[in-house]
Every structure is written in C-alpha cells, then in structure tokens.
Amino acid sequence: MNNTMIKVENLHKNFGSLEVLKGIDLEVRKGEIISIIGPSGSGKSTLLRCLIHLEKTSSGSIIIEGSPISFEEDGRQIHFAESVIRERCRKLGMVFQNFNLFPHKTAIENICEAPVALGRKSKAAALAFGERLLERVGLSEKRNSYPCHLSGGQKQRVAIARALAMEPDVMLFDEPTSALDPELIGEVLAVIKELAEDDMTMLIVTHEMTFAREVSGRVIFMDEGEIIEAAAPEKLFTDPDHPRIKTFLEKML
Amino acid sequence: MGYLLESTWYILQGCTTTLKLFALTLLFSLPLGFICAMAKTSKVKPLKFLMELYTSVVRGTPLLLQIFFVYYGLPIFFPGLRLERFTAAVLTFILNYGAYFTEIFRGGIQSIDRGQYEAARVLGMNYRQTMSRIILPQTFKRVLPPVANEAITLVKDTALVVVLGIGEVLRNSKEIVARDFTISPFIIAAVIYLMLNYVVVLIFRKLEQRYSVYE
C-alpha cells in the first residue's frame, strides 16, 4: 500500500523576481511528524502555503495522496481548475500563526462552520463532533465564547479544533506558537503532542527547538529557499552535516 | 397657539413625501450599493471600470445638479422620457446614494483581514461561501456607522426636492413663510428633521449594540 501523503518535486516559487523556493523535494508519509526549522525568510511558511495552495506555485509538482494540485511534466507546467485544487486540498488542514478565527462566531460556531457550509455533516452531527473536539483541546467551557474573549493560547486551540473538524489527513502548522505569550505556548504544544500520539500526519514550521526535537520523526532545515538537511532530530540537533545549521542552532539556544 | 398647531399640521403633511423619499431611497440604494461593491471588488476589469466611472461621476457632482439633470435634462436627450417629479427625485436619490453605499461597502469588504479569506479557504470554502458566511457578516458590522451617517444626511437631503416643487416638509413650511411673513414654520421644519434623525440614530444605535457582542 502506498502511504505517501504528500509528494513535492522540484517546487519553485517566485514573488516577482524574488526566488523564495528554489527546487524543493519532499515526501511526507502517513503518520510522519516533520518539523521545519530555519531562519526567517528561508521559505518555510511559503512551502506550507504552497502545499495548501494559499500560494500558487511557480513550477514543480505537489501531489496530495496521489492527486496533483500542481504538476510539471517534461518541463511543462500543468494547471488545474480552482475547484479541483480546492477538493484535493481538503485532505489538508492548516493552523496559522495569527489564528485567523472568525471573530463574529463563537468557539463552537468557528468549529462547525465549514463542515456545515460544505455539507460534510448535518448541523447536529457537526455540533456533536465539534463538542468532542473542544473537549479534546480542553475548552469545553469556552464553547459559547467569542474569540475576543479568549486568550491567545485558547484561540490557537480553537483554531486547531476548527481544522480538525474537517477531518484532514495531514495537519499543517505555520508557526503555531509564534504569536503567543511565552506562558501560553505550553498549552498549544501539549495539544499538538496529543495529536502526535494519535498518529496524525503533521508538518510543523516552528521556532520551538526543544519541541521540534521531542515530537518530530524528521526535522528539515531550510535556508534561502532550499532544504539544507533533512534528518532525524537526534542527528540534526547534535551532529548536523552543515555548518550553517550549527550556527543557527547556537543562536537559537 | 392654534396658528402654530395649524402650521405644524400642514408641515407634517409634507412628512409623508419626505418619508416616502427617504424609505424608497434606502430600500433601493442599499442593495444597489451592495451589488456595485461586489462588482467593484471582483476581478472583472470592465466591471470595475464601469463602477469606478459611476461612483466618481455621481460623487463628484452636486446632488442638486443631478436632480435638475434627471428632471429637466433627460427629456432633452431622450424625448418622451419625461419623468414624474417625484419619480425623477427618487431615481436621482437612489443613484446618488447607491454610489456612496458602493464605496462604503467596498471599503468595508476590503477592510476585512486577508487571514479571514485564507482561513475560509483552507477549510475548503469557495468564494461564495467565504463571502456570505465569513466576509459579509463582518463587513455588515463595520459599515453600520458610515451607513448611519448616510441615512442622517439623506433625511436632510430630501429637502433638496423643494426645487422641483414637491410638497415635502421644507416646501410646505416655505409656503407658510411666504404667506404669513413669519419664520416660525422654518423652526417647526427644523424640529421635524431633528426628530426624524433622532429616530434614525436610535435605530442604528440598536443595530450597533446588537452586533457589538464580538470585537
């Protein structure tokens, strides 16, 4: 059985003349937890955003569970219709640095909005599932709170529950704790760790080195739009092949 | 006292026309502004250009001039298109306020954070679902204060149709002023406009309160 969830080949992304991704190759297998680290501006977030098509790729292939959303064949780029891409990207869920909760909806409404809007679940089923998810992220008592009445950590936990409500096969985290006060980071990381224990496939862009080391099966170091090294955390954090990684890690600690 | 009551009663009769103009204008210019704002924020270039032309011409020229143009000017360009005075007034007001509402709604839509579109998108929503469920409900709350402003201005602008001799509040007071050489009817008119606007303010305050549960 093929258990490749995401396959990326020779992915390029330019913003005007600025080359942000310079040929990324990556394969994500089912149940894998991959942390992506590296200095700011290295293209980590752009890579995640390309995977879920928030950014249009310039060239290269992205294949999600066998279905391409971007495909390059013999140097020719094949384009897909928006609706096709949207359908294929539904296998992925995403959590943002700034949460991006819907401010006019309560916690439970945020979670149930998409499954109901897209006809994935009946209202009652979505509600029941949403309540289970809220319980899972430890926020049952905040069910009817609006985002403006939640702390940053609570917002991010609701955002995680909202992404899970669409029952994605892969979760993408784009610096999920970067906008949080230090004392609130732990509660969000704990939720992500719990997902890890449930074998959720995850790609996590993060600056939390200890967390990355603890939770991931593979760590990817990116710099200037390229993957410099991808290795098991023990290897990458203690004995990286590349001097650039050493310098980066020294600065982080 | 009897004189004052009599004058007030006569001026109040003009209220029907004032209110009719006010209500019809809001009723049609709000949806018009909404549709035009959607067109203006769309990606269709000719549509955007057309809307740009509409809002700049209408917002760039006096409403009074527009009233004259529609009533006196249109029949010259299109013989046979002689509009009823009130119809001409309503039509002009709808087009005029529609342009302002277009800009208010456009600004409201564009003020919503890009992250909201992205969040909706990664959850699998299409453009229509994103707009109707996520963007527009937030826009509605944000445009309430400027829309209230326009509604207040509209109450006062209705007085402009006096130039077409339509019997609304100001015209009726003017008649008494001209007949009796007293300015008390103008004061009565002022109080009536003030009261009408007080109601408008109350309604919008209620609406704003209702939508203040978040943010």
ipTM of the complex: 0.93
Please give the single-letter amino acid code of residue B19: L
Average the pLDDT over A187-215 and give the result: 94
Digit-coded pLDDT (tens) for A115-138: 999 999 999 999 999 999 999 999
Query: Residues A186, A191, A197, A202: what is their CA dihedral angle, to the nearest 10 degrees?
Result: -100
Chain A interface test: which of B114, B117, B121, B123 (most A C-beta within 10 Å): B123
**Token digits for B101?**
């509402």
Q: Which amino acid is at A60?
A: G
Say yes or no for a CB contact (<8 Å) between A89 and B124: yes
Q: In this model, does residue A1 exceed pLDDT 70?
A: no
DSSP state at residue A53? T
Contact between residue A226 and residue A23 where contact means Cβ atoms under 8 Å apart = yes
Select from B95, B77, B97, B79 the least CA-distant residue to B87. Answer: B95
A192 close to A176: Cβ distance less than 8 angstroms: yes
Give me the torsion for CA of A207, A209, A215, A216, rounded to 10°: 80
Q: Verify whether the Cβ–Cβ distance A54 to B138 is below 8 Å.
A: no
Q: Give chain B's domains with CATH numbers.
A: 2-214 (1.10.3720.10)
C-beta separation of A188 from A176 below 8 A: yes
- Measure in Å the smallest separation between the Cα of A176 and chain B Cα atoms: 14
Q: Do the beta carbons of residue A99 and residue A159 sit within 8 Å?
A: yes
Confidence of residue A205 (pLDDT cuts 50, 70, 90): very high
Alpha carbon of A89: minimum distance to chain B alpha carbons (Å): 8
Q: What percent of chain B has pLDDT over 90?
A: 83
What residues of A are in the B interface, CB distance below 8 Å? Answer: 52-54, 83, 86-87, 89-90, 92-94, 96, 98, 100-105, 113-114, 117-118, 146-148, 162-163, 166
pTM for this entry: 0.89
| Closest CB to B213 among A93, A114, A146 | A146
Asked if B168 contacts B14 with a C-beta cutoff of 8 angstroms, the reply is yes
Give the burial class of A253: count Cβ atoms within 10 A of its Cβ; 0-12 exposed, 13-18 middle, 19 or more buried: exposed
Question: Is the predicted pLDDT of residue A58 greater than 60, yes or no?
Answer: yes
Please state, in angstroms and rounded to a whole number, the distance separating the CA atoms of residues A141 and A152. 16
Convert the pLDDT of each residue in B182-201 to its tens digit: 889 999 999 999 999 999 99
pLDDT for the residue numbered B81: 79
- A11 three-state secondary structure: strand
Spacing of C-alpha A160 from chain mean position: 10
Share of chain B above pLDDT 70, in %: 100
What pLDDT, in 10s, does the model give residues A59-104? 999 999 999 999 998 888 888 998 999 999 999 999 999 999 999 9
Q: Is the pLDDT of residue B109 over 90?
A: yes
**Amino acid (1-letter code) at residue A24:** I
The pLDDT assigned to B145 comes to: 95
Q: String of b and e for A48-71 (b: at least 16 CB within 10 Å)?
A: bbbbbbbbebbbbbbbbbeebbbb
Backbone angles phi, psi at B211, to 5 degrees: -100, 10
Check: CB of residue A57 under 8 Å from CB of residue A85.
no
pLDDT at B4: 85
A147 vs B contacts (CB less than 8 Å): 214
Cβ atoms A37, A209 nearer than 8 A? yes
Nearest Cβ partner for B115 among A90, A93, A98: A98
Question: In chain B, which residues touch A (CB < 8 A)?
Answer: 113, 115-116, 118-126, 129, 133-134, 137-138, 141, 213-215
So what's the pLDDT on residue B153?
A: 97
φ/ψ of A171, rounded to 5, equals -110, 130
Does A2 have pLDDT greater than 80? Answer: no
Q: Are A21 and A50 in contact (CB under 8 A)?
A: yes
B167-183 pLDDT per residue, tens: 889 999 999 999 999 88
Q: Residues B141, A106: contact at Cβ < 8 Å?
A: no
pLDDT of A156: 97
What integer is the mean pLDDT of A181-200?
A: 94
Give the nearest partner residue to B134 out of A54, A102, A163, using CB atoms.
Answer: A102
The DSSP letter of residue A203 is: E
Question: Looking at residue A74, what is its pLDDT?
Answer: 83
Backbone φ and ψ for B132, nearest 5 degrees, come out as -75, -30
